[in-house]
């Protein structure tokens, strides 16, 4: 892994060591030594990860015979400078933290966050929340209790429990604990902290690349540049319905898949692919067990993915396609010739029984005149 630059050399790259996560749920690697030189005047940069496979018992490394999976880039990262502790203003919008949300009974005010404000940490995946806390400025290992300056990234801060004065959120031995601070003997309005209770506000972002290979064979060619689907658009209806796939890094070597069914795809540009929407009956046999959903109302949802036919690499997307049945009104029973209805033993006209059967079949027939596109969470 390295910072992308035109003058990139082998010595600039940092080798990552992957470790297996508990319960064999995956592997994880971290890099803590990346930096930007003071002579680099760029305002934005990207991280670059070159990923290689380990084939058999021989580890494939850069510079030797290797099996490259691909080169993966992060999104643009903005370069910001650490603001001075002595001069803090409201003008630096890139550094100052803003908030305007509501979490249960906890209401966050709109605007810049200042020291002394009540905040709450919320896990975006599980929804788990910590009790309300007061954010405090940290200066020389002390929490300053009487400062109301705006909070900035890269500055140290402390989180004091709102309902438990001088109890600060801290980390000890990889566990979250409460640190009981002690009042400063030199200055009033300050409490002494330990290293584990001093935090730094930074911005984070997650970039995911999801792909697999159906035949479990080795990747013959790199999977990058990675196609990124940003939107779907349906045109027409019935047998003439088409789907436009919009995104980045699209190519003529990719085919659109509805569930497991690959369809004929026309390449328009690196930002657009077009395909015909397949009949739902053609998907029914292969849609189960492939992330598809069949609701009680008769709707069928299938995931949309892109496939590289040359080696079977499948690129998943965040989008799905839903077929919904079009319900028709039941037909009124018609009078047979002579004006006589034929009834069964229960007194139900035969024409009505026929219409009921027809209505049941209509409820189970799908049309392509009513489509819905959903973005999966």
Per-residue pLDDT at 376: 46
Q: Is residue 239 assigned to a domain?
A: yes
Same-domain check for residues 104 and 161: yes
The helix (H) or strand (E) run that includes residue 55 is strand 47-55
The DSSP string of 112-171 is E-BTT-EE--B-TTT--BPPPEEEEEEETTEEETT--PBPBTTSEEEEEETTSTTEEEEE
Mean of pLDDT over the chain = 77
Look at 22-31, 271-280, 291-300, 303-312 and tell me which has the smallest mean pLDDT: 291-300
Whether the pLDDT of residue 96 is over 50: the answer is: no
The most confident of 8-17, 142-151, 205-214, 245-254, by mean pLDDT: 245-254
Same-domain check for residues 237 and 291: yes
Q: How many domains does the chain have?
A: 3
pLDDT, one tens digit per residue, over 224-277 is 999 999 999 999 877 788 999 999 999 999 999 999 899 999 999 999 999 999
Same-domain check for residues 9 and 49: yes
Q: Is residue 91 assigned to a domain?
A: no
Whether the pLDDT of residue 336 is over 50: the answer is: no
Q: Is residue 124 assigned to a domain?
A: yes
* Structural contact between residues 178 and 170, judged by C-beta atoms closer than 8 angstroms: yes
Q: Is residue 336 assigned to a domain?
A: no
Q: d(Cα 277, Cα 95) in Å, to the nearest integer? A: 47
Give me the CATH number covering residue 232. 2.60.40.10
Give me the CATH number covering residue 185. 2.80.10.50
What Cα–Cα distance (Å) separates residue 257 from each residue in 142, 232, 262?
58, 13, 4
Same-domain check for residues 115 and 170: yes
Q: Is residue 45 assigned to a domain?
A: yes
* Structural contact between residues 276 and 257, judged by C-beta atoms closer than 8 angstroms: no
Residue 82, token pair as written in the block = 């650490």
Q: d(Cα 55, Cα 218) in Å, to the nearest integer? A: 9
Same-domain check for residues 109 and 55: no
Per-residue pLDDT at 377: 42
Closest CA to 1 of 27, 23, 24, 29: 29
Which residue segment(s) compose the domain that 251 sits in?
212-324
The most confident of 75-84, 151-160, 161-170, by mean pLDDT: 161-170
Whether the pLDDT of residue 160 is over 90: the answer is: yes
Q: Is residue 20 assigned to a domain?
A: yes
Residue 354, token pair as written in the block = 């026929």
Same-domain check for residues 221 and 317: yes
Please state whether the peptide bond connecting residue 140 to the residue before it is cis, i.e. omega within 30 degrees of 0: no
Assign 221 to helix, strand or coil. coil
Q: d(Cα 322, Cα 294) in Å, to the nearest integer? A: 9
Give the total residue count for the chain. 377
Same-domain check for residues 225 and 313: yes
pLDDT, one tens digit per residue, over 25-52 is 788 888 877 888 778 888 888 899 998 8
* 49 CA to centre of own chain: 19
């Amino acid at each position: 892994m390295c910072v992308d630059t035109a003058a990139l050399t082998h010595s600039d790259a940092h080798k990552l060591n992957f470790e297996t996560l508990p319960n064999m749920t995956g592997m994880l690697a971290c890099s803590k030594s990346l930096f930007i030189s003071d002579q680099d005047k760029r305002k934005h940069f990207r991280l670059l990860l070159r990923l290689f496979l380990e084939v058999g018992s021989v580890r494939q490394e850069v510079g030797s015979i290797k099996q490259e999976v691909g080169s993966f880039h992060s999104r643009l990262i903005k370069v910001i400078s650490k603001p001075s502790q002595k001069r803090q203003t409201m003008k630096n919008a890139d550094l100052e933290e803003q908030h305007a949300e509501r979490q249960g009974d906890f209401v966050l005010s709109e605007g810049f966050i200042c020291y002394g404000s009540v905040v709450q940490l919320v896990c975006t995946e599980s929804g788990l929340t910590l009790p309300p806390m007061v954010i405090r400025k940290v200066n020389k290992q002390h929490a300053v209790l009487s400062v109301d300056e705006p909070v900035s990234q890269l500055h140290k801060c402390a989180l004091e429990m709102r309902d438990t004065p001088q109890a600060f959120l801290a980390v000890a031995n990889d566990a979250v604990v409460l640190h009981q601070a002690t009042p400063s003997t030199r200055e009033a309005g300050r409490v002494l902290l330990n290293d584990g209770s001093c935090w730094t506000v930074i911005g984070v972002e997650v970039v995911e690349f999801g792909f697999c290979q159906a035949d479990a064979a080795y990747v013959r060619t790199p999977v990058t540049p990675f196609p990124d689907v940003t939107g779907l658009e349906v045109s027409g209806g019935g047998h003439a319905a088409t789907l436009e796939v919009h995104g980045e890094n699209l190519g003529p070597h990719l085919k659109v898949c509805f569930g497991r069914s690959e369809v004929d795809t026309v390449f328009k540009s690196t930002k657009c692919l077009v395909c015909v929407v397949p009949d739902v009956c053609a998907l029914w046999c292969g849609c189960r067990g492939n992330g598809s959903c069949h609701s009680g109302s008769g709707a069928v949802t299938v995931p949309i993915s892109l496939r590289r036919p040359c080696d079977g690499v499948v690129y998943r997307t965040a989008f799905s396609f839903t077929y919904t049945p079009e319900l028709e009104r039941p037909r009124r029973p018609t009078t047979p010739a002579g004006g006589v209805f034929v009834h069964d033993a229960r007194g139900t006209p035969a024409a009505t029984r026929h219409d009921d059967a027809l209505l049941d079949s209509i409820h189970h027939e799908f049309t392509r005149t009513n489509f819905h596109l959903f973005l999966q969470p």
